[in-house]
Chain A
Protein backbone atom coordinates (compact mmCIF):
# COMPACT_ATOMS: atom_id res chain seq x y z
CA UNK A 1 0.00 0.00 0.00
CA UNK A 2 1.21 3.53 -0.78
CA UNK A 3 1.31 6.51 1.55
CA UNK A 4 0.77 10.04 0.25
CA UNK A 5 4.40 10.36 -0.82
CA UNK A 6 4.17 7.01 -2.59
CA UNK A 7 1.15 8.21 -4.58
CA UNK A 8 3.07 11.36 -5.49
CA UNK A 9 6.09 9.30 -6.56
CA UNK A 10 4.00 7.13 -8.88
CA UNK A 11 2.28 10.16 -10.42
CA UNK A 12 5.66 11.85 -10.96
CA UNK A 13 6.48 9.05 -13.42
CA UNK A 14 3.67 10.40 -15.62
CA UNK A 15 5.52 13.70 -16.10
CA UNK A 16 7.00 14.11 -19.56
CA UNK A 17 9.75 16.36 -20.90
CA UNK A 18 8.59 19.97 -21.65
CA UNK A 19 5.35 19.57 -19.70
CA UNK A 20 3.66 22.54 -18.04
CA UNK A 21 1.91 21.09 -15.00
CA UNK A 22 -0.69 22.41 -12.57
CA UNK A 23 -0.61 20.77 -9.15
CA UNK A 24 -3.63 20.90 -6.86
CA UNK A 25 -3.56 21.23 -3.08
CA UNK A 26 -2.64 18.21 -0.92
CA UNK A 27 -1.02 15.07 -2.36
CA UNK A 28 -0.51 16.68 -5.82
CA UNK A 29 1.80 19.31 -4.30
CA UNK A 30 4.17 16.49 -3.27
CA UNK A 31 4.66 15.44 -6.91
CA UNK A 32 7.13 18.32 -7.34
CA UNK A 33 9.53 16.50 -5.01
CA UNK A 34 9.89 13.53 -7.38
CA UNK A 35 10.49 14.93 -10.87
CA UNK A 36 12.23 12.23 -12.97
CA UNK A 37 15.89 12.90 -13.83
CA UNK A 38 16.72 14.46 -17.16
CA UNK A 39 13.39 16.10 -18.03
CA UNK A 40 12.34 19.75 -18.06
CA UNK A 41 8.99 20.57 -16.49
CA UNK A 42 7.50 23.80 -15.17
CA UNK A 43 4.86 24.08 -12.48
CA UNK A 44 2.01 26.53 -12.87
CA UNK A 45 0.04 27.76 -9.90
CA UNK A 46 -3.28 29.36 -10.79
CA UNK A 47 -2.82 32.31 -8.44
CA UNK A 48 -0.32 33.63 -10.98
CA UNK A 49 3.08 31.99 -11.22
CA UNK A 50 4.78 29.78 -13.77
CA UNK A 51 8.08 28.20 -12.82
CA UNK A 52 7.40 27.48 -9.15
CA UNK A 53 10.35 26.31 -7.10
CA UNK A 54 10.70 24.63 -3.71
CA UNK A 55 9.69 26.14 -0.38
CA UNK A 56 12.00 28.96 0.76
CA UNK A 57 14.69 28.53 3.41
CA UNK A 58 13.65 29.81 6.79
CA UNK A 59 13.97 33.58 6.93
CA UNK A 60 13.61 33.92 3.15
CA UNK A 61 9.81 33.70 2.99
CA UNK A 62 8.13 36.45 0.98
CA UNK A 63 4.46 37.20 1.73
CA UNK A 64 4.06 38.31 -1.90
CA UNK A 65 5.18 34.96 -3.36
CA UNK A 66 2.81 32.09 -2.60
CA UNK A 67 1.20 29.14 -4.38
CA UNK A 68 -2.51 28.37 -4.76
CA UNK A 69 -2.43 26.59 -1.40
CA UNK A 70 -1.33 29.93 0.11
CA UNK A 71 2.06 28.43 1.01
CA UNK A 72 5.23 30.48 0.70
CA UNK A 73 7.27 29.36 -2.31
CA UNK A 74 10.28 30.31 -4.40
CA UNK A 75 10.64 30.64 -8.16
CA UNK A 76 12.98 28.96 -10.63
CA UNK A 77 15.10 30.73 -13.28
CA UNK A 78 12.75 31.58 -16.16
CA UNK A 79 9.73 32.01 -13.90
CA UNK A 80 7.03 34.60 -14.50
CA UNK A 81 4.17 36.23 -12.59
CA UNK A 82 0.82 37.20 -14.10
CA UNK A 83 -2.74 38.12 -13.20
CA UNK A 84 -5.59 35.67 -12.57
CA UNK A 85 -7.26 36.16 -15.96
CA UNK A 86 -4.00 35.43 -17.78
CA UNK A 87 -3.48 32.41 -15.54
CA UNK A 88 -6.80 30.92 -16.56
CA UNK A 89 -6.13 31.70 -20.21
CA UNK A 90 -3.20 29.31 -19.83
CA UNK A 91 -5.55 26.72 -18.37
CA UNK A 92 -8.68 27.27 -20.47
CA UNK A 93 -6.59 27.67 -23.61
CA UNK A 94 -4.98 24.25 -22.97
CA UNK A 95 -1.46 25.62 -22.73
CA UNK A 96 -1.01 23.67 -19.50
CA UNK A 97 -0.30 20.03 -20.41
CA UNK A 98 -1.21 18.15 -17.25
CA UNK A 99 -3.44 18.77 -14.26
CA UNK A 100 -3.03 16.74 -11.08
CA UNK A 101 -5.66 17.19 -8.39
CA UNK A 102 -7.31 15.56 -5.41
CA UNK A 103 -10.89 14.31 -5.25
CA UNK A 104 -13.58 13.12 -2.86
CA UNK A 105 -15.20 10.92 -5.54
CA UNK A 106 -14.47 9.83 -9.11
CA UNK A 107 -16.99 7.96 -11.28
CA UNK A 108 -16.28 5.30 -13.87
CA UNK A 109 -17.29 7.86 -16.55
CA UNK A 110 -14.51 10.18 -15.39
CA UNK A 111 -16.77 12.58 -13.46
CA UNK A 112 -15.12 14.18 -10.44
CA UNK A 113 -16.49 15.65 -7.19
CA UNK A 114 -14.19 17.59 -4.89
CA UNK A 115 -15.68 20.89 -3.73
CA UNK A 116 -18.76 20.44 -1.60
CA UNK A 117 -20.58 18.15 0.83
CA UNK A 118 -24.12 19.56 1.00
CA UNK A 119 -25.05 20.84 4.47
CA UNK A 120 -21.64 19.95 5.87
CA UNK A 121 -18.64 21.31 4.15
CA UNK A 122 -18.36 23.94 1.48
CA UNK A 123 -14.88 25.05 0.61
CA UNK A 124 -15.61 26.15 -2.92
CA UNK A 125 -14.25 24.93 -6.22
CA UNK A 126 -11.38 27.39 -6.48
CA UNK A 127 -9.82 26.81 -9.88
CA UNK A 128 -10.77 23.13 -10.06
CA UNK A 129 -13.82 23.58 -12.32
CA UNK A 130 -11.83 25.61 -14.84
CA UNK A 131 -8.99 23.08 -14.71
CA UNK A 132 -11.10 19.96 -15.21
CA UNK A 133 -13.29 21.55 -17.89
CA UNK A 134 -10.29 22.45 -20.01
CA UNK A 135 -7.29 20.23 -19.35
CA UNK A 136 -6.59 17.50 -21.87
CA UNK A 137 -4.85 15.30 -19.33
CA UNK A 138 -6.15 15.02 -15.79
CA UNK A 139 -4.77 12.69 -13.14
CA UNK A 140 -6.50 12.35 -9.79
CA UNK A 141 -4.46 11.63 -6.67
CA UNK A 142 -6.47 10.31 -3.73
CA UNK A 143 -7.02 7.54 -1.22
CA UNK A 144 -9.00 4.60 -2.64
CA UNK A 145 -11.54 4.76 0.20
CA UNK A 146 -12.75 7.54 2.51
CA UNK A 147 -12.30 7.70 6.29
CA UNK A 148 -15.46 5.61 6.76
CA UNK A 149 -13.93 2.90 4.55
CA UNK A 150 -16.28 3.57 1.61
CA UNK A 151 -15.04 3.43 -1.96
CA UNK A 152 -14.25 6.73 -3.67
CA UNK A 153 -14.24 5.06 -7.10
CA UNK A 154 -17.93 4.87 -7.92
CA UNK A 155 -20.40 4.05 -10.67
CA UNK A 156 -21.87 7.53 -10.23
CA UNK A 157 -20.67 10.34 -7.97
CA UNK A 158 -23.02 11.07 -5.06
CA UNK A 159 -21.60 14.54 -4.29
CA UNK A 160 -22.05 17.72 -6.38
CA UNK A 161 -19.83 17.45 -9.45
CA UNK A 162 -16.78 19.54 -10.23
CA UNK A 163 -16.63 18.35 -13.83
CA UNK A 164 -18.01 15.68 -16.14
CA UNK A 165 -16.16 12.98 -18.12
CA UNK A 166 -12.79 14.58 -17.65
CA UNK A 167 -10.54 12.39 -15.47
CA UNK A 168 -8.07 10.26 -17.43
CA UNK A 169 -6.20 8.39 -14.70
CA UNK A 170 -6.49 7.81 -10.96
CA UNK A 171 -3.60 6.96 -8.64
CA UNK A 172 -4.62 5.78 -5.18
CA UNK A 173 -2.91 4.12 -2.24
CA UNK A 174 -3.93 0.79 -3.81
CA UNK A 175 -3.70 1.14 -7.58
CA UNK A 176 -3.21 3.00 -10.84
CA UNK A 177 -6.36 2.97 -12.95
CA UNK A 178 -7.36 4.38 -16.31
CA UNK A 179 -10.84 5.64 -17.11
CA UNK A 180 -12.17 3.84 -20.19
CA UNK A 181 -15.55 3.61 -21.95
CA UNK A 182 -16.25 0.49 -19.91
CA UNK A 183 -15.08 1.63 -16.48
CA UNK A 184 -11.95 1.73 -14.32
CA UNK A 185 -9.25 -0.27 -16.06
CA UNK A 186 -6.70 -1.55 -13.57
CA UNK A 187 -3.17 -0.91 -14.84
CA UNK A 188 -0.94 -1.42 -11.78
CA UNK A 189 -1.20 -2.63 -8.19
CA UNK A 190 0.50 -0.74 -5.37
CA UNK A 191 3.30 -2.73 -3.69
CA UNK A 192 1.90 -5.54 -1.54
CA UNK A 193 -1.71 -4.97 -2.63
CA UNK A 194 -3.72 -7.91 -4.04
CA UNK A 195 -6.36 -7.87 -6.76
CA UNK A 196 -8.84 -8.90 -4.07
CA UNK A 197 -7.99 -5.77 -1.99
CA UNK A 198 -8.60 -3.54 -5.01
CA UNK A 199 -11.85 -5.28 -5.98
CA UNK A 200 -13.18 -4.90 -2.44
CA UNK A 201 -12.35 -1.18 -2.33
CA UNK A 202 -13.80 -0.33 -5.76
CA UNK A 203 -17.55 0.23 -6.12
CA UNK A 204 -17.46 1.24 -9.80
CA UNK A 205 -16.94 -1.21 -12.65
CA UNK A 206 -13.41 -2.59 -12.44
CA UNK A 207 -11.79 -4.04 -15.55
CA UNK A 208 -8.99 -6.52 -14.99
CA UNK A 209 -7.33 -7.86 -18.12
CA UNK A 210 -4.38 -10.25 -17.91
CA UNK A 211 -1.65 -10.01 -15.34
CA UNK A 212 -1.65 -6.75 -13.42
CA UNK A 213 1.93 -5.73 -12.59
CA UNK A 214 3.03 -4.22 -9.31
CA UNK A 215 4.08 -0.57 -9.47
CA UNK A 216 7.75 0.23 -9.74
CA UNK A 217 8.63 3.29 -7.70
CA UNK A 218 12.02 4.90 -8.16
Chain B
Protein backbone atom coordinates (compact mmCIF):
# COMPACT_ATOMS: atom_id res chain seq x y z
CA UNK B 1 0.00 0.00 0.00
CA UNK B 2 1.26 3.44 -0.90
CA UNK B 3 0.23 5.91 1.76
CA UNK B 4 -1.22 9.23 0.64
CA UNK B 5 -2.24 10.67 3.99
CA UNK B 6 -1.09 14.08 5.15
CA UNK B 7 -1.69 15.25 8.68
CA UNK B 8 -3.68 18.42 8.05
CA UNK B 9 -4.92 20.94 5.49
CA UNK B 10 -1.75 23.07 5.74
CA UNK B 11 0.41 20.14 4.75
CA UNK B 12 -2.10 19.25 2.05
CA UNK B 13 -1.71 22.66 0.43
CA UNK B 14 2.09 22.72 0.62
CA UNK B 15 3.54 23.96 -2.68
CA UNK B 16 0.56 26.12 -3.68
CA UNK B 17 1.80 29.52 -4.85
CA UNK B 18 0.56 32.76 -6.35
CA UNK B 19 -0.30 32.59 -10.07
CA UNK B 20 -1.05 28.88 -10.06
CA UNK B 21 -3.91 27.18 -11.90
CA UNK B 22 -6.21 25.22 -9.60
CA UNK B 23 -9.06 22.83 -10.28
CA UNK B 24 -11.78 22.76 -7.64
CA UNK B 25 -14.55 20.17 -7.54
CA UNK B 26 -18.19 20.82 -6.72
CA UNK B 27 -21.46 21.88 -8.29
CA UNK B 28 -22.86 24.99 -6.73
CA UNK B 29 -21.98 24.51 -3.06
CA UNK B 30 -22.47 20.75 -3.29
CA UNK B 31 -19.30 18.68 -2.91
CA UNK B 32 -16.88 21.59 -2.73
CA UNK B 33 -13.49 21.24 -1.00
CA UNK B 34 -14.50 23.51 1.90
CA UNK B 35 -11.36 22.98 3.96
CA UNK B 36 -8.92 23.57 1.09
CA UNK B 37 -10.77 26.78 0.13
CA UNK B 38 -10.65 28.04 3.73
CA UNK B 39 -6.90 27.36 3.83
CA UNK B 40 -6.32 29.16 0.50
CA UNK B 41 -8.12 32.16 2.00
CA UNK B 42 -6.04 31.89 5.20
CA UNK B 43 -2.73 31.67 3.31
CA UNK B 44 -3.84 34.52 1.02
CA UNK B 45 -2.54 32.85 -2.13
CA UNK B 46 -3.27 35.27 -4.97
CA UNK B 47 -3.63 35.72 -8.73
CA UNK B 48 -5.12 32.29 -9.04
CA UNK B 49 -6.73 30.81 -12.11
CA UNK B 50 -9.57 28.65 -10.83
CA UNK B 51 -11.22 25.94 -12.91
CA UNK B 52 -14.54 25.17 -11.25
CA UNK B 53 -18.07 24.72 -12.56
CA UNK B 54 -19.38 27.58 -10.43
CA UNK B 55 -17.95 30.45 -8.42
CA UNK B 56 -19.73 29.89 -5.12
CA UNK B 57 -22.01 32.46 -3.52
CA UNK B 58 -20.98 35.81 -2.09
CA UNK B 59 -20.02 34.48 1.34
CA UNK B 60 -19.23 30.81 0.77
CA UNK B 61 -17.26 28.51 -1.51
CA UNK B 62 -15.10 30.27 -4.10
CA UNK B 63 -16.97 33.47 -3.25
CA UNK B 64 -14.65 33.70 -0.24
CA UNK B 65 -11.60 33.87 -2.54
CA UNK B 66 -13.36 36.38 -4.80
CA UNK B 67 -14.16 38.65 -1.85
CA UNK B 68 -10.45 38.85 -1.08
CA UNK B 69 -9.58 39.36 -4.77
CA UNK B 70 -7.40 36.25 -4.79
CA UNK B 71 -8.73 35.07 -8.14
CA UNK B 72 -7.33 36.49 -11.38
CA UNK B 73 -9.27 34.26 -13.73
CA UNK B 74 -12.28 31.97 -13.42
CA UNK B 75 -12.95 29.12 -15.81
CA UNK B 76 -16.56 28.04 -15.24
CA UNK B 77 -19.81 27.11 -16.93
CA UNK B 78 -22.31 28.97 -14.74
CA UNK B 79 -21.79 31.89 -12.41
CA UNK B 80 -25.32 33.18 -11.92
CA UNK B 81 -25.55 33.12 -8.13
CA UNK B 82 -22.73 35.44 -7.19
CA UNK B 83 -23.17 39.24 -7.20
CA UNK B 84 -19.54 40.00 -6.39
CA UNK B 85 -18.47 37.76 -9.25
CA UNK B 86 -20.76 39.54 -11.70
CA UNK B 87 -19.53 42.93 -10.49
CA UNK B 88 -15.83 41.99 -10.87
CA UNK B 89 -16.48 40.45 -14.29
CA UNK B 90 -18.49 43.35 -15.73
CA UNK B 91 -15.95 45.88 -14.37
CA UNK B 92 -13.09 43.93 -15.97
CA UNK B 93 -11.26 43.19 -12.68
CA UNK B 94 -11.79 39.49 -13.17
CA UNK B 95 -10.95 37.54 -16.30
CA UNK B 96 -13.62 34.95 -17.05
CA UNK B 97 -13.71 32.06 -19.48
CA UNK B 98 -17.15 30.51 -19.74
CA UNK B 99 -17.23 26.96 -21.04
CA UNK B 100 -20.13 24.59 -21.71
CA UNK B 101 -20.51 22.31 -18.71
CA UNK B 102 -19.94 19.05 -20.58
CA UNK B 103 -16.87 20.51 -22.24
CA UNK B 104 -15.55 21.59 -18.83
CA UNK B 105 -15.99 18.07 -17.46
CA UNK B 106 -14.42 16.49 -20.53
CA UNK B 107 -11.43 18.87 -20.54
CA UNK B 108 -10.75 17.67 -16.99
CA UNK B 109 -11.17 14.06 -17.92
CA UNK B 110 -8.97 14.46 -21.02
CA UNK B 111 -6.20 15.76 -18.74
CA UNK B 112 -6.78 12.82 -16.41
CA UNK B 113 -6.71 10.28 -19.21
CA UNK B 114 -3.89 11.64 -21.36
CA UNK B 115 -5.92 12.95 -24.29
CA UNK B 116 -4.52 16.24 -25.62
CA UNK B 117 -7.85 17.29 -27.17
CA UNK B 118 -11.23 16.07 -28.36
CA UNK B 119 -14.11 17.11 -30.59
CA UNK B 120 -17.49 18.06 -29.18
CA UNK B 121 -20.63 19.46 -30.82
CA UNK B 122 -21.23 21.81 -27.86
CA UNK B 123 -20.86 25.46 -28.75
CA UNK B 124 -20.64 25.03 -32.51
CA UNK B 125 -22.01 28.16 -34.21
CA UNK B 126 -21.68 30.22 -31.02
CA UNK B 127 -19.00 32.56 -29.67
CA UNK B 128 -17.57 29.63 -27.69
CA UNK B 129 -16.28 28.18 -30.97
CA UNK B 130 -14.69 31.43 -32.19
CA UNK B 131 -11.04 30.92 -33.15
CA UNK B 132 -11.25 27.19 -32.58
CA UNK B 133 -10.69 24.42 -35.08
CA UNK B 134 -13.95 22.88 -36.31
CA UNK B 135 -14.49 19.70 -38.26
CA UNK B 136 -17.31 17.74 -39.80
CA UNK B 137 -17.91 14.12 -38.81
CA UNK B 138 -20.82 12.22 -40.38
CA UNK B 139 -22.54 15.38 -41.51
CA UNK B 140 -22.38 17.18 -38.16
CA UNK B 141 -20.03 19.96 -37.05
CA UNK B 142 -17.75 19.67 -34.02
CA UNK B 143 -15.38 21.97 -32.13
CA UNK B 144 -11.87 20.97 -31.04
CA UNK B 145 -11.35 21.47 -27.29
CA UNK B 146 -8.11 20.92 -25.38
CA UNK B 147 -7.28 19.18 -22.12
CA UNK B 148 -6.77 21.48 -19.14
CA UNK B 149 -3.36 22.00 -17.58
CA UNK B 150 -3.43 22.63 -13.86
CA UNK B 151 -1.02 22.69 -10.93
CA UNK B 152 -3.37 21.43 -8.22
CA UNK B 153 -6.76 19.73 -8.16
CA UNK B 154 -8.71 20.09 -4.91
CA UNK B 155 -11.51 17.55 -4.63
CA UNK B 156 -13.91 16.50 -1.93
CA UNK B 157 -15.17 12.97 -1.32
CA UNK B 158 -17.39 11.36 1.30
CA UNK B 159 -15.06 8.58 2.41
CA UNK B 160 -11.46 7.86 1.62
CA UNK B 161 -8.72 5.57 2.85
CA UNK B 162 -4.99 5.92 3.51
CA UNK B 163 -4.25 4.75 -0.02
CA UNK B 164 -6.22 7.66 -1.50
CA UNK B 165 -9.16 5.55 -2.68
CA UNK B 166 -12.34 7.64 -2.78
CA UNK B 167 -16.09 7.12 -2.47
CA UNK B 168 -18.48 9.97 -3.20
CA UNK B 169 -22.02 10.54 -1.98
CA UNK B 170 -25.08 11.64 -3.95
CA UNK B 171 -24.68 14.53 -6.34
CA UNK B 172 -21.67 15.74 -4.34
CA UNK B 173 -19.77 13.54 -6.79
CA UNK B 174 -20.18 15.88 -9.81
CA UNK B 175 -16.83 17.20 -11.11
CA UNK B 176 -14.72 15.71 -8.32
CA UNK B 177 -13.91 12.36 -9.98
CA UNK B 178 -13.14 14.07 -13.31
CA UNK B 179 -10.55 16.30 -11.65
CA UNK B 180 -8.70 13.52 -9.83
CA UNK B 181 -5.36 13.02 -11.56
CA UNK B 182 -6.10 15.89 -13.96
CA UNK B 183 -3.57 18.23 -12.32
CA UNK B 184 0.07 17.76 -11.32
CA UNK B 185 -1.01 17.19 -7.72
CA UNK B 186 -4.46 16.05 -6.60
CA UNK B 187 -5.47 16.80 -3.03
CA UNK B 188 -8.54 14.98 -1.74
CA UNK B 189 -10.35 15.98 1.41
CA UNK B 190 -12.87 13.58 2.90
CA UNK B 191 -15.51 13.59 5.61
CA UNK B 192 -14.24 10.28 6.90
CA UNK B 193 -10.70 8.94 6.49
CA UNK B 194 -10.39 5.22 7.22
CA UNK B 195 -7.49 2.73 7.36
CA UNK B 196 -6.58 0.87 4.16
CA UNK B 197 -8.55 -2.35 3.89
CA UNK B 198 -11.70 -0.86 5.41
CA UNK B 199 -13.39 0.14 2.15
CA UNK B 200 -14.68 -2.58 -0.18
CA UNK B 201 -12.51 -2.43 -3.34
CA UNK B 202 -15.69 -3.13 -5.36
CA UNK B 203 -17.22 0.14 -4.19
CA UNK B 204 -14.30 2.51 -4.89
CA UNK B 205 -15.25 5.33 -7.29
CA UNK B 206 -11.74 6.72 -7.75
CA UNK B 207 -8.63 4.56 -7.26
CA UNK B 208 -5.88 6.07 -5.13
CA UNK B 209 -3.44 6.26 -8.04
CA UNK B 210 -5.19 9.49 -9.10
CA UNK B 211 -4.72 11.08 -5.67
CA UNK B 212 -1.41 12.34 -4.25
CA UNK B 213 -2.58 13.66 -0.86
CA UNK B 214 -5.57 12.86 1.30
CA UNK B 215 -6.80 14.29 4.60
CA UNK B 216 -9.91 14.37 6.71
CA UNK B 217 -11.54 17.82 6.70
CA UNK B 218 -11.82 19.39 10.13
CA UNK B 219 -15.44 20.39 9.62
CA UNK B 220 -18.06 20.57 6.89
CA UNK B 221 -20.76 23.20 6.82
CA UNK B 222 -22.34 21.72 3.64
CA UNK B 223 -24.43 24.77 3.04
CA UNK B 224 -27.61 24.34 1.01
CA UNK B 225 -27.98 26.92 -1.75
CA UNK B 226 -31.68 26.45 -2.56
CA UNK B 227 -33.54 24.73 0.24
CA UNK B 228 -36.73 23.46 -1.41
CA UNK B 229 -39.24 21.31 0.43
CA UNK B 230 -42.81 20.11 0.01
CA UNK B 231 -45.51 20.08 2.64
CA UNK B 232 -46.60 16.81 4.19
Contacts and interface: CB of A to CB of B under 8 A. Distances in A.
Contacts of B217: none
Of A55, A72, A83, A164, which is in contact with the most chain B CB atoms at under 10 Å from its CB? A83
Given A47-B174, A91-B102, A124 B80 contact: yes
Given A122-B79, A122-B89, A130-B122, A48 B178 contact: no
A133 interface: yes
Most chain B CB within 10 A, of A73, A123, A127, A133, is at A133
Given A48-B171, A57-B232, A163-B126, A125 B227 contact: no
B228 interface: yes
A64 B30 contact: yes
Contacts of A56: 229-230
B19 interface: no
B231 A66 contact: no
Contacts of A49: 170-171
Contact residues of A: prevailing secondary structure: loop
Interface stretch (B6-14, B104-112, B131-139, B194-202): B104-112
B169 A64 contact: yes
B16 interface: no
A: interface residue count bin: 35 or more
Interface in A25-49: 45-49
Contacts of B77: 124-127
Contacts of B128: 125, 129
Contacts of B105: 83-85, 87-88
Given A92-B121, A130-B103, A63 B30 contact: yes
Contacts of B230: 54-58
Interface in A97-128: 111, 115, 119, 121-128
Interface in B173-218: 173-178, 205
Contact of A47 (B27, B222, B226): B27
Contacts of B109: 85
A61 interface: yes
A69 B81 CA distance: 10
Contact of B178 (A72, A84, A115, A162): A84
19 contacts: A49-B170, A61-B228, A63-B223, A66-B30, A68-B27, A72-B227, A83-B105, A83-B177, A84-B104, A84-B175, A92-B121, A115-B98, A123-B79, A124-B79, A125-B100, A126-B77, A129-B123, A162-B126, A164-B125
Interface of A: 45-49, 54-58, 60-73, 81-85, 87-88, 91-92, 111, 115, 119, 121-130, 133-134, 160-165
Given A48-B27, A134-B121, 4 more contacts: A67-B171, A84-B178, A130-B102, A164-B126
